[in-house]
Each structure stands twice: as structure tokens, then as C-alpha cells.
Amino acid sequence: MHRYQSPMIVAAVLLAALAGFVDALAYLSLGGFFAAFMSGNTTRLGAGLATGDYGAALTAGALICAFLCGVMIATMLSVRFAPRRKAAVMAAVTALLALAALLVGFTDRRWPLMLLAVAMGAENGVFNREGEVSIGLTYMTGTLVRFGQKLTGALIGSGGATAWAPYLLMWLGFAIGVILGGRIFGISGDATALWYAAAASAVLTVLVATLSSPIPESSAAGR
């Protein structure tokens, strides 16, 4: 994360908040399953298979597959639109969230919510270096590990004094997104809340596209 400039780190925190928001909607709508947290879904899959709750195992497995599809979509878009890969991936995330919002009320609610997992898998492709995810936006376990490592380094003097801050902000962003998602879900239900998610994603798409726009050669030469 230290390779990115502050404006892009702010964008990453906001994207983590979006992931938390969407994850809360999925969790509350599906009764304990996740759109972003695949470790949780893997636990539900294993527990369902172990206890004979095959319905739960099927739901968890479907969400994991949907998430993987999102990762693959983001990877293909990153290759196809390399100069604008961040904007292309975010446009796909926005389209998936909007499609999920459109489908609610017209089909079994599980299908729109599967699209949330696809969107969250794709969102992880926004920050990509040399084919590898450089900032995980939907899984906070690794973020907390890095926060603990950087905080320890600051305390013992072996690392930067504030190197831990971006990781803490990422976790806080995700947590605040979960709280907002839960509150809006409780007030207005998942149909309206999904439109909030799609609208927020559209705004973030514009932000990411602006921040990642290549500097024109004439401007760069004048610097």
C-alpha cells in the first residue's frame, strides 16, 4: 500500500467501505452468508457439508464461485483495458450492483445477491500490480495482520512511525461500511439499499478514473 499516493489510498479506503456496505446487505439478506468475506463462506460450506446442511453448503459454494467469476472478470478487463484498467473494473462493479438492484423484486432474491459476490470479486482487481492484487479491498484479515506488523515496527523503532495508519484506515472504512449497510437495510430494505450501493460505486468509478488518468505528455513535459 505504501507504493500508492495519498489520494489513491483514500480511494482504497472508500472502496473498502463500499465492500463493507455490500457485505452487510448480503449477510442480512441471506441470513449469515457473505458477498465479500470468502473465509466466512468457506466455513459455512465446510460446516454445512459436515452437518448435512446441504442447502447452506450449496449457497456458500455458489457465493464462492460467484466471487471467483468476479475476480476473473476483473483480470480479463485489466488485460483488455490496461491503460484504464482501474476505471474499467470499477465500471463493471457499478454495472453489476445496478443489475442486482434492478433484479430485486423480479426474481428469487438469492440471484441478485449472487451478483453482489461477483461485484466484490471484481472490486479486488482495482489495485493490481504485475497481475497480482496489491491492495485487498474485501478481506480484512490480511489488513489487520499488516496493521499489527506495522504498528509493532513503529513501537520498536524498526519501521515508519505512521506506516500502520493506512491499514487501520482500511479496516475502519470496511467496518463503517458494514454499519451503514446494516442501518440502511434496516430502514429501507435491500432493494433501496442496493441502489445506494450502485450510486456510491458510480461515484467511486469517476473518482478512480480521475485519479488514475494518465498525465498527458505535454503536461508531463512541462513539469
pLDDT digits (tens, 9 = 90+) for 71-108: 999 999 988 988 888 999 999 999 999 999 999 878 77
pLDDT tens for each residue of 9-33: 899 999 999 999 999 999 998 888 9
CA-based nearest residue to 104, from 186, 42, 26: 26
Which amino acid, residue 87?
A
Q: What is the pTM of this model?
A: 0.88
Which amino acid, residue 120?
M
Q: Please provide residue 129's backbone torsions phi and psi, each rounded to the nearest 5 degrees.
A: -125, 120
Q: What is the pLDDT of residue 110?
A: 79
Q: What is the largest CA-CA distance in the chain?
A: 67
Domain ranges of the chain: 6-31+70-213
Q: What is the pLDDT of residue 83?
A: 83
79-86 own/partner pairs: CB under 8 Å, 24+ apart = 83/214, 84/209, 84/212, 85/125, 85/128, 86/126, 86/127, 86/208, 86/209, 86/212
pLDDT tens for each residue of 29-78: 888 899 999 999 999 999 999 999 999 999 999 999 999 999 999 999 98
Strand partners, 129: 132
Q: Please provide residue 131's backbone torsions phi and psi, each rounded to the nearest 5 degrees.
A: 80, 5
Report yes or no: 27 and 185 within 8 Å, Cβ to Cβ. Answer: no
Q: What is the pLDDT of residue 178?
A: 95
Decide if pLDDT at 1 tops 70: no
| Ordered alpha helix ranges (H), 52-105 | 54-80, 85-103
Q: What is the pLDDT of residue 112?
A: 86
